[in-house]
Structure 1
């Protein structure tokens, strides 16, 4: 990059980074993490005592991709009433050779598209090839990104969905229709009975899916649990499934695995980094009857990877702004 600070706004990010771009970037960084070529720094996440907001930092360095940076932001639950998304973030990229700030990149769209890419990477590597029914638990802002990305990985025919607020489901139904997929609003138990692949993307603090509802051969991507105390599925489901994660350290402390680990029913040694499957050092799914579960806690390197794509593409297309800092 030339001298000066590159600024890439939200609208430009959405224009230059596709779900396929995000998939490629996230898959590569997961592979680098598993090889020890990329690592995340400890996450800082705090309730600030104002506006019910959670605020924090995710940072890391990808030596293979030469990407160094930090995502700053959090969750403001009252934003929807103001016409804003609840998740707000900005990504800062630094030159790993000099430490100079290289780029300032909008993080809201990229957070959504990288989270969807994470689950779709897990679907690509772990779901059965003949999966036909996609189950969606949650219908918030990120759910449509999840649905679109998942649909690129398997030849789904139908989407079944449940949300604690049913009035939000038509948005998912509209996306399913756009993708040419049948859509049905169902109970949680019925969702488990029908779905071959399930994505959970909620902010729940209690199990929404129970072990006995899930049929053999299902792949589940748990994408909502990223804070201590959050929970989307029955801990017994993790005990009985083969568990994979974006990062094991986060999975056992702030991810879906935290509850099964805290009760002593699951250990970190029983969780496999998804990067090992990507790199071919772990076979992944071993049978059509096996239940696989991906604990997607969200790591800073995902954000940095897609922000690097956004910065590169925006500059090459002449859509970024440069300023002297």
Structure 2
């Protein structure tokens, strides 16, 4: 009888280590690679489980998948607790479990809160890198919550922006985002939704809205929009007519049409599934991406489990390399 393979032990990487080790470039590279693998059929997300707990107004669920190209297998468990901010905690709480693809043994336990924010920002940054006009100069931000600062920092590295404009349902939250823009050396201005659409070359929406915050007629030709907040059935950040008028790209088509920003345009028949392109096809050179300076492009960033697994794998690798990872026997 052959000896059973021995476990190498469980690597544990906490939130502080993740934040210290995984930078924006690490996240960008990991997310871009996994989007490319998905488009080639080398990586697959499994069906998402997402349910209301019926307690603390929380949503809880699981996102999982397998990246054969990167040999990463795992699951992210967590959700959204809207009352956490009042307790000094972030509303999004999650943990990533990684498994050895060859044996199924648990190999790493990685904090997911910081990684969720940085991978979400990385996905919009990937869309800007591949779809926004090269001469984009004005960045528009819709939303000023916890993730908006991550979005702003990541976006600012993709184009030579000379101004940031922003709108938020609660204007008192905008100065905090303005401080991030100032730190980046970018002038910041709070504007109306209509003015934001009229001025911005790139727009990032990062809210928990259940109604459109931007309308088709407000958006100027050539704009790139990254819709990053819609990840649940019923949520909506932009007018369905705006989605229908744009060339639409996404992280995963199956999620885009069911829980993403495209769900409403799909429901009213103004967009069909075959009009939505995986961003990985652009990364791989199989789709040209933007076809003209006047084209409106829209990235439907629904958030897929493979993004979480990719950045968690990076965190585990870097933590082991510098000796900061905890390791326990199983």
1:183 has 2:182 as partner: no
Tell me if structure 1 keeps the 8 A contact 2:63–2:75: yes
Structure 1 stretches lacking a partner, 5+ long? none
Tell me if structure 1 keeps the 8 A contact 2:7–2:105: no
Partner of 1:158: 163
1:192 has 2:197 as partner: yes
* Alpha-carbon separation, structure 1, partners of 2:7 and 2:249: 40
* Aligned-residue CA RMSD (Å): 0.9
Q: 2:177 aligns with which of 150, 163, 172?
A: 172
* Alpha-carbon separation, structure 2, partners of 1:183 and 1:319: 38
After TM superposition, the runs of 4+ consecutive aligned structure 1 residues lying more than 6 A away are: none
Q: 1:71 aligns with which of 71, 76, 81?
A: 76
SS in 1 for 2:308: helix
For 1:91-102, list aligned pairs within 5 A: 91-102=96-107
* Alpha-carbon separation, structure 1, partners of 2:182 and 2:320: 35
Please report the TM-score for the alignment, with normalisation by the length of structure 2: 0.98
Q: 1:114 aligns with which of 110, 116, 119?
A: 119
How far apart are 1:3 and its partner, in Å? 1.2
How far apart are 1:324 and its partner, in Å? 1.3
* Alpha-carbon separation, structure 1, partners of 2:294 and 2:283: 21
How far apart are 1:226 and its partner, in Å? 0.1
1:272 has 2:277 as partner: yes
Partner of 1:39: 44
Partner of 2:266: 261
SS in 2 for 1:293: strand
1:303 has 2:271 as partner: no
Partner of 2:217: 212
* Alpha-carbon separation, structure 2, partners of 1:55 and 1:36: 28
Partner of 1:145: 150
Q: 2:13 aligns with which of 8, 33, 56?
A: 8
Partner of 1:294: 299
SS in 1 for 2:307: helix
* Alpha-carbon separation, structure 1, partners of 2:273 and 2:306: 21
Partner of 2:327: 322
For 1:220-235, list aligned pairs within 5 A: 220-235=225-240
1:18 has 2:12 as partner: no
How far apart are 1:317 and its partner, in Å? 0.6
Number of aligned residue pairs: 325
* Alpha-carbon separation, structure 2, partners of 1:72 and 1:268: 29
* Alpha-carbon separation, structure 1, partners of 2:272 and 2:164: 33
Task: String of CA shifts for 1:253-277, please: whole Å, max 9, x gaps.
Answer: 0000000000111111000000000
* Alpha-carbon separation, structure 2, partners of 1:12 and 1:168: 28
Q: 2:250 aligns with which of 245, 249, 254?
A: 245
Tell me if structure 1 keeps the 8 A contact 2:131–2:224: yes
* Alpha-carbon separation, structure 2, partners of 1:268 and 1:91: 31
How far apart are 1:2 and its partner, in Å? 7.9
Partner of 2:3: none
SS in 1 for 2:217: helix
How far apart are 1:165 and its partner, in Å? 0.4
Task: String of CA shifts for 1:101-150, please: whole Å, max 9, x gaps.
Answer: 00000000000000000000000000000000000000000000000000
* Alpha-carbon separation, structure 1, partners of 2:273 and 2:29: 27
* Alpha-carbon separation, structure 2, partners of 1:227 and 1:2: 37
SS in 1 for 2:295: coil
Task: String of CA shifts for 1:23-51, please: whole Å, max 9, x gaps.
Answer: 00000000000000000000000001000
Structure 2 stretches lacking a partner, 5+ long? 1-5
Tell me if structure 1 keeps the 8 A contact 2:139–2:200: yes
Partner of 1:132: 137
